[in-house]
Structure 1
Amino acid sequence: MIFGSSSSSSSDEESSSDGFEEDLAGFVDRVRAKNSVFFEETVPSYDETDFVSHFRVSSTVAHQISQRFERSHFYNSSAGKYGHISPQKQVHIFLWFAGHQTASFLDVADRFGITLSSLFRITRRLTMFLSSLSQEVIRWPNDDEKREAEEWFRSKGFPGAIGTIDGTHIRVDRPHNDPDSYYNRKKYHSIQLQVVCDGHKKITSVFVGFPGSVHDARVFRRSPLGQNLQERCGDFFLLGDSAYPCSRNLVTPFRSTGRETRQQRNFNRLLSSCRVVSEHCIGLLKQKFRQLYHIKLRNIATTVHFIRACCVLHNLALSDEFPVENLSPVENTLDVSHQEENDEDEARDLPEGVAYRQYLLSSMNLN
């Protein structure tokens, strides 16, 4: 089991344990790609709408990533067996792979006119490079940013909140090691991704890597955020669903007993209308980087870095005009509904949380 948060450090990008060699075993350098002009001639003809549609970020963001990548130690400027591949082309190759659910290694290598051995090195380096930016790009808000985030939730009728938390399952192929622990309640193998975002769908915390069989509440408790929530939030709080324990700094709905008051039902509806932003954030993340619907990398550590890399890209491209499809709460039909399959022992409300939720209820006009 490997897991990490947005504050985790990255491992050496040249490590032989990263799994890309496994993913291309038996294929490397047996196939030479045929299309050598796609990036050089076709991509420059794209207008901005076409570019975003194909590469999932704006050309400006892609250019900025390329510049940063070129200056990093992850970029190798030496020419390989089949010639030099520019940092710009390498970034575009990775973006294409991440953004297309059906893009296999063979498809991407053919499209960009490179060998499979070049492709796995590029994918490995960009995965580790982007993952290494998580501490910079995915940040917990400072005091000024907390107040700004709180203003958004206040405008929606929920003063005091600075973000919403949610979990999602990233489908993976059956792992070689301890596969049963990755088998979730919907009967497929997955890795847990925990996300906190603000009202504008900016990700402020990521924790990824727990096996799919682990309950959301346990993932939260084991995360750096869960262990330091009061210190992170101060007088503010997050909004979550019933998969999480209600506490002073994590407010969840009143549990369904059939005896809720009208005020409690209205409270739950208001909380849900605010909390849905995290579901939309996750839906947008998967729409942009469709490999997240089902990652077929064999190595779990590599997969964790790849997921975090996509979260970094999400924040970098947040202001891009991406063509958004329907972002309903059931946007990802493969996801596990933890609200309906809640484990009360895992998500038992804390007394101080129950008292604070009641205080919030009494201070709101919810008649």
Structure 2
Amino acid sequence: MSNHTELLQVISETRVLNPSKVAKLSQLHLVLVEFKTDDPKRFRRNLRVSPDTFDGLVLRIEGHPIFLNSSPKPQTAPYIQLAIVLFRFGHDGNAASVESIAQWAGVSVGLVVKCTQRVIIAFLSLHNSVIRWPTDIEKEEAKAWVESVSCEQWRGGFCMVDGTLVPLFEKPGHHGEVYFDRKSNYSLNVQVRLPFVYRSHTSLTT
């Protein structure tokens, strides 16, 4: 009985019964330093954005309180968290599994999940400032430009809309059925509205 009690005690106090160390070699330095500086094409291939766009996204979210904590050990830098999430969002199938992303970044599976949650929270906080319809003034500017490069009859067309489906690795845990699309996948629908004055507005829908 004593042995059983001791075994239960060990189980209750141990998070991993058979710990093992998985060898990983991070690609973050290669992408965020080497490719970012000398090979923007490969940078884009990994993170699906240009270096300038990446820097702009970092500036937008790095000050969000989600990246701060009261722990003596600081969080992973926001730009690294963003890189991990962009790499994850830019892949599907087996390449988008949490384990594959963790191996690519040289981090734990848990950190990949936390990075994803934090980055999404940070970007959602920008919703009202970056996702909107053009103002009346912007519409008139766009209509005037359309007329100047085409004809008066086309003046009413002030923007164009296009979209694409971004497949998800698996069915989301919350309201997963609403993510089921016409192609029989679970996905996010990314729509881009581009007024003809070179301003773009992006929205995510399900």
TM range, normalised to the smaller chain?
A: 0.5 to 0.7
Of residues 179, 195, 205, the one that matches 1:198 is 195
Cα offset, 1:87, TM superposition:
1.6
Deviation at 1:93, TM superposition (A): 1.1
What is the CA–CA distance in structure 1 between the aligned matches of 2:176 and 2:83, rounded to whole Å? Answer: 33
Gaps of 5+ in 1: 1-28, 210-367
Q: CA deviation at 1:94?
A: 1.4
| Secondary structure, aligned partner of 2:159 | strand
Change (3 A) 1:194 1:100: closer
Q: CA deviation at 1:122?
A: 0.5
Counterpart in 2 of 1:85? 76
The separation in 2 between residues aligned to 1:139 and 1:178, in whole angstroms, is: 25
The answer for the alignment partner of 1:96 in structure 2 is 87
The structure 1 residue matched to 2:29, chosen from 32, 35, 40, is: 40
The one-letter code sitting in structure 1 at the alignment partner of 2:79 is Q
The 8 Å contact of residues 31 and 46 in structure 2, kept in 1 or not, is answered as no
Which residue is equivalent to 2:158? 162
CA shift digits 1:86-127 (9 cap, x unpaired): 122112111211223333211111111111111101011101
Q: Which structure's residues are more often helix, by fraction?
A: 2
Structure 2 CA distance for partners of 1:202 and 1:64, relative to 1, 3 Å: closer
Aligned counterparts of 1:179 and 1:121: Cα–Cα separation in 2: 20
Residue 73 of structure 1 aligns with which residue? 65
Alignment-derived partner of residue 141 in structure 1: 134
- Inter-partner Cα distance in structure 2 for 1:42 and 1:171: 24
Q: Contact 1:33 / 1:114 at 8 angstroms: preserved in 2?
A: no
| 1:35/1:112 contact within 8 Å kept | yes
Match of 1:140, SS state, is coil
Change (3 A) 1:167 1:109: closer
- In the TM superposition, what are the counterparts of 1:110-149 in structure 2 within 5 Å? 110-149=103-142
1:73 partner letter: P
Q: Which amino acid aligns with 1:35?
A: L
Structure 2 residue matching 1:63: 3-state secondary structure = helix
Closer, same or farther: CA 178–74 of 1 in aligned 2, 3 Å: closer
Checking the alignment, whether the CA contact within 8 Å between 1:165 and 1:197 is kept in structure 2 is yes
Structure 1 distance, partners of 2:118, 2:171, is 24
Q: Distance in 2 between matches of 1:59 and 1:175?
A: 30
> 2:62 is paired with a residue of what secondary structure?
helix
Equivalent residues of 2:190, 2:202 under 8 A apart: no
Deviations 1:36-77 (A, max 9, x none): 4x2235531112333233222232332333244231112135
Report the AA paired with residue 103 of structure 1. Answer: A
Which structure has the higher relative contact order (CA within 8 Å, separation 6+)? 1
Are residues 49 and 153 of structure 1, via their aligned partners in 2, closer, same or farther at CA, if it must alter by over 3 Å? same
Larger Rg: 2
CA 1:145–1:171 in structure 2 vs 1: closer, same or farther (change >3 Å)? same
Deviation at 1:149, TM superposition (A): 1.7
- Which among 59, 63, 68 is matched to residue 55 of structure 2? 63
Shift of 1:80: 8.8
SS in 1 for 2:133: coil
Structure 1 partner of 2:41: 49
DSSP-derived class of the 2:66 partner? coil
What is the root-mean-square deviation of aligned Cα atoms in Å? Answer: 3.6
Matched position secondary structure for 1:74: helix
Alpha-carbon contact 1:163-1:197 (below 8 Å) kept: yes
5+ long unaligned stretches in structure 2? 1-18
SS of residue paired to 1:71: coil
TM-score, normalised on structure 2?
0.66
Amino acid at match of 1:59: P
Question: Relative to structure 1, is the Cα distance of residues 131 and 32 closer, same or farther in structure 2, using a 3 angstrom cutoff?
Answer: farther
